[in-house]
Structure formats: structure tokens, C-alpha cells
Structure 1
Amino acid sequence: YRVSADVDEVNTLKSRLDHWELPADTTDAHAPASLLKLWYRELYEPLIPDELYNDCVTHHAEPERTITIVNNLPELNKLVLCYLVRFLQIFARSEVVQVTKMDASNLAMVIAPNCLRCTSQDPRIIFENARKEMAFMRTLIQSLDTSFMEGIY
């Protein structure tokens, strides 16, 4: 997730998926990860709606509050976020981290900007909140019970 894929390959994959064609010839393992991040980033509205953004950055290190925020999401946003977090929790397992070197903090760092969007135009606030956005996602990866998503593909 940390390494960007070739832009042309990602665009080709995106185009094929936009036409409901399943790509079978992907050679770059980073391409699907880049495509996933792109999909979240290009959503018209962020996965975490603007009206909940301040709660996320304010309570980024409080597991109970972060779970409450997730529970207050619109149902579709909640399901998509929980599915994503479940996926990231698999990658955050110690046996996977030993190979990928991508622990919960690293995963949160690369996915947070795609799920939360700072509404401020002030570079200082954007920079300051980036750390809190990452902490919010890390807290979800480490604390959110996503067992209800098991078996959903």
C-alpha cells in the first residue's frame, strides 16, 4: 500500500473495471492497492462524512468514541468502512506484518487520507489533523469489532 503502482497500469485497470471487465493479467502487486485507495479517494463524499470529521480528529485515540462514530455513520458508509477495516485487520496480523512491514500504524497512514477529508483550507490545520486522521484509522484497525463482516466477500 505504501508503494505506488504504475499510473498507466492503474488507469487501465480502472477503465476495465468501469466497463465491468475483470482484469486477469495484472503484473504489479501494487496496482490493486493503488486502485483501492483511488476508489476511496474519488468518492463524491468521503467515507467519513464531513459532519463527523471533527469528532474523528477530536476523539482519535478513544476506542469507545471511535466505535460510536462508526455506529453513527450512514448505513452504507458504515458497512463499507467496516469491510475496509476488516480487510486492513487481516494485513495488521503479526504474521503478515513480518512479511509486509505494514503494521496498523503504517496501514492507517496510507488509508486515512482516502477515508477522511479535512474541510479546512489552512495548511497548518491540514498538517496537524493528518496525524489525528491516521490515529483515528489506527484505533479502528486495532479496536473495531468487524467479526460480523466475516464471510462477506
Structure 2
Amino acid sequence: MRIHILTGMSRAVWLFVPLGVVFFATCPAAADIVQPAYRRCGTGPRINCIVDGDTLWNDGVKIRIADIDAPEISQPHCATEKALGERATLRLMELVNVGPFAILAWKNRDQDRNGRKLRVLVRNGRSLGDILVSEGLARTWAGRRQPWC
């Protein structure tokens, strides 16, 4: 029979990992810190994923980021719009995966004509849409779409 003696780091892992599991399972504040990872939407269920630079799914709800307009990637009017739309999509994915953010209601409208919830994504008091605008990947929403070509 072999006897394994835990020393150094392996002892620490065996002592603290179970404590961490108990902590996260019993501490409500710790559970609030956990955020789902967002990926590009594919063919499977759309729970937490990015459609394009101004649309995502959060907990199975389709959300249109209400304070911006990003270039289209599904039906672009030119190659420039498609390329910029891809960059906006990837950047939005980066922004939502950096850390927790709030999803806030948009003025007096709950949803758009396509049934998407109209929301603003905010982290530390700043709109994630404003970040996309400041980087030239989206425009501030002006009430209607503008051409990108």
C-alpha cells in the first residue's frame, strides 16, 4: 500500500479548495460576483451570447443595446460595414467579459419593433455603448439608423 504525504502547495490545495467550495455555495455575495461568459451566438441555444455590436442574449433574453447603433454583420450594405461590424462585435464581447455590468432600462420604451428588450449596459457609471462609440465602432443612437457605407 502506498501512502502519499501532502506537502507544500498540495497540502494547501487540499485544505483550501474544499473551504472555497463551501464559501461560494453558502455566501450570497460571492454568488453575485459570478458572471456568465459571453461568446458569439451560434446554432445552439442562445442564453448568453453576442449577436453583433449592438445585440446580445442575456439569460435567454434578446437585448438591443439602446444607446448605440453598430454596423450590421448579417446584412451589411458594403464590405466596410461588414468589417467594422465584425470589429464592433468582437469588442462588445471583450467589454461584457471583462467583469460585471448592469443592464438598465431605456427611457420610456421596453422593447423595439422586433421584440428585443431595449437596454443600456453600464459598468462603473459608464455605458459600454459609449466605449464603442469612443473607439469608432458604433454611433450614439439618434432615433434611426444611419448608413455606414
TM-score, scaled to structure 2: 0.26
Q: Highest Rg: 1 or 2?
A: 2
**Greater strand share, structure number:** 2
TM-score, scaled to structure 1: 0.26
Q: Which has the higher contact order (CA 8 A, sep 6+)?
A: 1
